[in-house]
Amino acid sequence: MGRASREKGKRGEREFAGLLRQFGIESRRTQQYCGKAGTSDVSSSLEGVHIEVKRYARIAAMRFMDQAKADCKPDHLPLVAMREDGGQWAIMFRAEDLHKIATRIVDAVEM
């Protein structure tokens, strides 16, 4: 991996940690020396959550989010559920919707 790529990754990790702090979640970029198993890119006050940050020019899954945003009603939040053949389900939503979606999940489960 080239220096420019590593620097872009570091900027992405710092940016995401800053976003979490805006939500009131303590977080910081983790200093990584070898990328060994168990070391997340960002450490936070979210107990038991491993945060891996990826920042690319284009992420293929984003076209699914583009479709969800285009198709959903104005007062709805886009969420994408995806799974590769033989793989596990993954959920994607916009970071800006994290608090709203979490609140709606809690409200739905409590009903």
Each residue's pLDDT tens digit in the chain (111 positions)? 789 888 998 999 999 999 999 988 999 999 765 556 678 999 999 888 888 999 888 888 999 999 999 999 999 999 999 999 999 999 999 999 998 999 999 999 876
Q: What does the pLDDT read at residue 111?
A: 66
Q: Cα-flanking dihedrals φ and ψ of residue 44, to 5°?
A: -150, 175
Contacts of 64 (CB under 8 A, 6+ apart): 80, 82, 92
Query: Strands 90-93 and 42-44, how do they pair?
Result: unpaired
What 3-state class would DSSP assign to 26? coil
Distances (CA, A) of 19 to 2, 13, 68, 94, 96: 26, 10, 23, 12, 9
Predicted TM-score of the model (pTM): 0.75
- What is the distance between the alpha carbons of residues 9 and 56, in angstroms, rounded to a whole number? 9
